[in-house]
Structure 1
Amino acid sequence: MASACSLSSFLSPPLPCPSRNEHSSHLASARVSVRCAAPLGYRPRRREPSHPATPSSSSRRGGGGGGASGRGAAVAAPPKPKPKPKPKPTPTPAPAPRKRHWKEGEFPGASEGSAPRPPPRTPIKNLKKKADDRAAAAAWACTVTEALADRIQKRQWEDALEVFEMLREQPFYHPKEGTYMKLLILLGKSGQPARAQQLFDSMIEEGLQPTSGLYTALLAAYSRNDLLDEAYQVLNTMKTLPLCQPDVYTYSTLIKACVDALRFDLVDSLYKEMDERSIHPNTVTQNIVLSGYGKAGKFDEMERVLSGMLENSSCRPDIWSMNIILGLFGNMSQVEMMEKWYEKFREYGIEPETRTFNILIGAYGKRRMYDKMSAVMEYMRKLAFPWTTSTYNNVIEAFADVADAKNMELAFDQMRAEGMKADTKTFCCLINGFSNAGLFHKVVSSVKLAERLEITKNTMFFNAVISACAKAGDLIEMDRVFKTMKNRHCEPDAMTYSILVEAYKKEGMRDKIYDLEQENPGLVGTVVAA
């Protein structure tokens, strides 16, 4: 085989380099001679067939034609190159088994590359399934209890009772006193005293020991719906139970029912009974009586109660006393008396709050004293008192009463822009304002908006819609709304029947009035007689 020098010359002949000097030529020749010279007695080693010959290996193994120099070897004719054998494919080593990286919380099962693990113990039958079922049940209970609290907060008593019955069927759920208390109060405020009594009876049947607070909540459910006889029966039952004796809150609740019914003779008897049982009235009790005398127009008795509160250190007047009296004169549009009492309470050392300013705004709005109304609102901003939903409701109501739909809408838009949540009274004022202005298409849009916002639809809301239908002369729609009101278990009041009777009278529909009298002879008879 030719030397490496001859092979390289054959593949790439040397080009003349006139710039290379003679000394450098000799050095290059000497290097080549040293590289290509073979020692005496040298025998080339048999080449491995698996490793093909390379030019460098040939130059190290091949002799230069019996010790010939590199230049002489270049003159000799090179032999024909032998075909290179195809290299055998090198077997790829088997990859090492990859170890799995387990996430936190996963079970680290054994893999091929991991260390041998002892055989797992035989699991207890259905142990994991039982644990999963228990966890899922706890999560489900938490979700349903949250749904129950949401229904109670939104005052959706039917949905709340449905969710509560669903929970009671579960073996892991045991309702406590607080849950029954909230449901009883909700049913009382929703005009469902009979449902409240049923819930109370089922509570006792399940073995829950009643308390004074639960009996007071049941008594309040009857009192809110003017059922004084049933409320007194609850009071008498409490007197017979050693662990459920009536307290000041029980008597205050019953006194409020008597005050609302203008039964001041019963109020005096309850005061005497409290004194016999060594139960002293507190500020809340006195404020209830104060409000009752004011609403009845008995201002002398009202001032007498207020003077007694000032003399008694245990029940001195507070901000609620101030708001009650200001609200009384404000609702009667007696602005001068309201301002007079405002100054009196300031002299007593009682500072106003947001509710106090809202009462002033509402009173000024009813009297169309918009300058004073704006001044109070600016004063609230100056003192860093926030405008609330009640603040905007008073402004919207002031514009609704005079059919100023433009300013009413502006106030409502500003209310929503500031993130205030509209309530039932807001939409009642909007519906009344649009109906007073003759914009009945906006009444429909307001009702749809209230539906989207899940506004609570109580008797006041349905009265506003029924009144709007009556003003539009659409008695068919009015009857439909009245039917929907009853289907939703929303009890009509005297205002409802008054609107219906007036609308039927205007159209000469005596048969409709007769049907209403048969349905509720007490309320309708009073309305017709008036």
Structure 2
Amino acid sequence: MFFLQLFSWSKKQSWYQPNARLYTRLIGFLGREGQVSRATLLFQEMLLEKCQADQYTYTALVNAYGKAKMFKEALAVFNYMKECTEPNCQPNTVTCNALIDALVKGGRYDQAVETFFDMRDGTNGLEHGCKPNVVTYNVLIDALCKEGLVDIGVRVLQYMREGEEKETVAPNSATYNTIIDACGKGGLYEKAESLMEEMVEHGVQPDHITYTALLGSYGKAGLWESAENTFKGMKGANVTLDVMAYTAMIDAYAREGMYEKAEELFKTMQQSGIRPNQVTYLSLIDAYGKAGLPEESKTVFNTMQAAGYEGNVFVYSALVDAYGKAGNYLEAAKMVDLMRQAGCQPNLVTYSAILSSCSRSNSCEEAHVLLQSLQASDSEMERILYKVVSESTVSDELWEDVSKMFDELTRQSNSARISFCNSLLDILWSWRLGQRASRILQLARAKAVYNDSFYVFTKSEWCLDLHRLSVGAAMTMLMAWLGELHHAWVWGEDVPETVVIVSGKGKHSRSKVSALKAPVDLHLAQLGSPFTDVVGNCGRVTASGDAVQSWLLSPGILQRLKLVDEQIPQFSHSKLLVK
């Protein structure tokens, strides 16, 4: 803190004169360093010294409070600026951007969007000098993408370029990279491709971040060949192959269980003088885990620690997943215990790994060894999860607790919530606890974990899109949807021309063949449905609306669609022996 020491020394000198600009710069510096208390004290000292604060001073305070997640204080300063009659104290675009950035990082997306619209429309005290610039749009788009609202983010991008002439703002590489990265994380590779093409058309040069995001989109979509071609093409495009690019490519191999290719690229990376980071090691651990080689995953973990990296919740969760997929539930449980000993608290990723692993077991009793690891902490969520899956009956009181648990999930990312619910529905469906699965699905939809995008209704076609779901989640949603169609027609809804079910490439599928196709087709056949494959598109089945209506309104079909708990858990509840 040399600057503060120099400032303290200068105040003691006879020639010292209080200076507002110097105070403002020091407040900004302390805010960036996260020392908000000292920044506040310095601001108070500034006022006592009769130095006039201006919009730069107040903006520095908004930044400081935002970084410290003191949103009430940040909004208080911002509102004071809006009400201030001094022209040089009113907020400007930079101030608004600082507030929006703080709100976004705090998950307060509604307030961030509200501030943006006030900037755009010149309302609520932002009539002068607060028009959105490219930074504003980038922060807003980033917020929308973090919430999984990529389509809205794309529309904001279009508005930037094509809105009213006086309001158009040219997107830069950061704008495109944010959306392409979000598409990558959502597996929307076609949208990522088109955005990259559009980026070039508008004279914005793709950089290594753009290519890495595209690599990620191919990897998450299971298109490792496309990722490989992009990776090779980066050299020809004079784009730097850094640790991020190598890691994205290793991850693409890992998702397909192609551990040999991942291992080879990892060695090439090291030979090129590029040091792997924690995410690189995590991807290699995942590659061995997907291939059913948990001991190799553990070896990579040991190598990672020797390289100076500590395990985090994602690394330990990957090890739990690796041993769980291999059916070694005792070792998976030991990984959970080791994780806690290392000071890492399990999160949704860990719970997803535990539940998903248990759902694959042919023996509930064997899987219970791992499931009992949820009893080893004082976590309310873990207690609820364990009881929902293992109790012989689920009381109304427990269902109230489950509902509160879903309220807590709103703080998590959209992708983490969907993955968790997929895994929970997997184990309930696999263990033939259909009634519980149905209740969980209802809550997941009510709490917007599964949004309306899974249901597509037009006048001519009703469609259920399952391709982003796991098997258990897809089967539960299929049965719920068919029941809803039955009730819709009982109450006189018009019949569409066609009814379509999309299984596509399942969320957990690691091959070219959909993981959902076979179970969906088999279940529909067992129910005697009229659905048949779409010619040339094996990921879709279709039937005429009249045929589906006739089938769903036939005697006894509604009873067959009702999900029940066929297998009530019976466990010994012995203590888990983990050393």
- Work out the CA distance in 2 between the residues paired with 1:166 and 1:150: 13
Matches of 1:420 and 1:257 in 2, distance apart? Answer: 27
2:97 is equivalent to residue 177 of structure 1: yes
- Cα distance between partner residues in 2 of 1:227 and 1:242: 21
Where do residues 145-156 of structure 1 align in structure 2 (5 Å cutoff)? none
Q: How many residues were matched structurally? A: 370
Matches within 5 A, 1:340-419: 340-419=264-343
SS at match of 1:262: helix
Unaligned runs of 5+ in 2: 1-43, 48-61, 83-90, 385-404, 455-465, 504-519, 521-539, 542-579
Higher relative contact order (Cα pairs below 8 Å, separated by 6+ residues): 2
- Give 1:282's match in structure 2, choosing from 200, 203, 207: 207
Q: Matches of 1:513 and 1:400 in 2, distance apart?
A: 38
SS in 2 for 1:227: helix
Structure 1 residues 289 and 201: alpha-carbon distance in aligned structure 2, compared to 1, 3 A threshold: same
Q: Does 1:525 align with 2:498?
A: no
Q: Which amino acid aligns with 1:286?
A: Y
Residue 293 (structure 1) shift: 4.6
SS of the residue aligned with 1:289?
Answer: helix
Greater shift, 228-237 or 496-505, is seen at 496-505
User: Which of 472, 486, 489 is the matching residue for 1:499?
Assistant: 472
2:252 equivalent in structure 1: 328
**Aligned-pair CA distance for 1:319:** 0.2
Matched, 1:219 2:195: no
Residue in structure 1 matched with residue 483 of structure 2 by the alignment: 511
> Which residue among 434, 451, 462 is the counterpart of 1:475?
434
TM value normalised by structure 1: 0.57
Offset, 1:331: 0.8
TM-score (norm 2): 0.53
- CA–CA separation in structure 2 for the residues paired with 1:516 and 1:222: 33
Counterpart CA distance in 2 for 1:164 and 1:475 is 48
Alpha-carbon distance in 1 for matches of 2:354, 2:473: 21
Q: Which residue does 2:420 correspond to in 1?
A: 461
**Structure with larger Rg:** 1
Residue deviations 1:432-469 (CA, integer Å, cap 9, x gap):
33444526785985983448996755222222223333
| d(CA) in 2 for partners of 1:239, 1:249 | 22
What is the CA distance between 1:353 and its match in structure 2? 1.7
Mapped to 1, the partners of 2:499 and 2:275 lie a distance apart of 42
Distance 1:176 1:523 in 2: 48
1:484 partnered with 2:443? yes
What secondary structure, in the 3-state scheme, does the structure 2 residue paired with 1:419 have? coil
> 1:294 touches 1:325 (CA, 8 Å); kept in 2?
yes
Residue 15 of structure 1 corresponds to none
- Note if contact 2:173-2:205 (Cα within 8 Å) is conserved in structure 1: yes
* Shift in alpha-carbon separation, 1:261–1:377, aligned structure 2, 3 A: closer
2:65 and 2:351 map into 1 onto residues whose CA distance is 26
Q: Residues 163-202 of structure 1, C-alpha deviation per residue, up to 9 Å, x if partnerless?
A: 7999699757987422312444676xx9x8x886555314
Q: Supply the distance in 2 between the matched residues of 1:387 and 1:497 (Cα, whole angstroms).
A: 28
For residues 234-273 of structure 1, what are the structure 2 equivalents within 5 Å?
Answer: 234-237=159-162, 240=165, 244-256=169-181, 260-263=188-191, 266-267=194-195, 269-273=197-201
Asked whether the 8 Å contact 1:330–1:359 carries over to 2, the reply is yes
Match of 2:351 in 1: 427
Change beyond 3 A, Cα 1:523–1:274:
farther
Q: Which has the higher strand share?
A: 2
Task: Classify 1:195/1:475 alpha carbon distance in 2 versus 1 (closer, same or farther; 3 Å).
Answer: farther
RMSD: 4.6
Determine the C-alpha separation between the residues in 1 that align with 2:338 and 2:488.
Answer: 42
Q: Are the structure 2 counterparts of residues 362 and 496 from structure 1 closer, same or farther at C-alpha, using a change threshold of 3 Å? A: closer
Cα shift at 1:409: 1.9
Conservation of the 8 A alpha-carbon contact between 2:134 and 2:169: yes
Partner of 2:380 in structure 1? 448
- Post-superposition Cα deviations, 1:136-157, rounded to whole Å, max 9, x if no partner, equal xxxxxxxx999987889xxxxx
Which amino acid in structure 1 is aligned with residue 248 of structure 2? Answer: I
What is the alpha-carbon distance in structure 2 between the residues aligned to residue 369 and residue 475 of structure 1? 32
For residues 312-323 of structure 1, the aligned pairs below 5 Å read 315-323=239-247
448 and 261 in structure 1: CA distance in 2 versus 1, 3 angstrom threshold: same
Q: Following the alignment from structure 1 to structure 2, what is the Cα–Cα distance between the partners of residues 349 and 401?
A: 34
Deviation at 1:249, TM superposition (A): 0.6
Instruction: Compute the displacement of 1:526 (Å).
Output: 1.8
Distance in 1 (CA, whole Å) between partners of 2:294 and 2:251 is: 18
Deviation for aligned residue 1:329? 0.6
- Please report how far the alpha carbon of residue 513 of structure 1 lies from its aligned counterpart in structure 2 after TM superposition: 6.6
Residue 432 of structure 1 contacts residue 468 of structure 1 at CA under 8 Å; is this kept in 2?
Answer: yes
Letter in 2 for 1:179: L
Distance in 2 (alpha carbons) for counterparts of 1:489 and 1:366: 30
User: In 2 relative to 1, CA 345–524 (structure 1 residues): closer, same or farther, beyond 3 Å?
Assistant: farther
Structure 1 unaligned segments of length 5 or more: list them. Answer: 1-130, 135-143, 153-159
Give 1:106-185 correspondences, 5 Å limit.
Answer: 171=80, 176-184=96-104
The residue type equivalent to 1:482 in the other structure is: L
Aligned AA (1:526): V
Q: In structure 2, how many angstroms separate the alpha carbons of the residues matched to 1:151 and 1:345?
A: 38
Checking the alignment, whether the CA contact within 8 Å between 1:425 and 1:461 is kept in structure 2 is yes
Return the offset for 1:248.
1.0
Identity %: 16
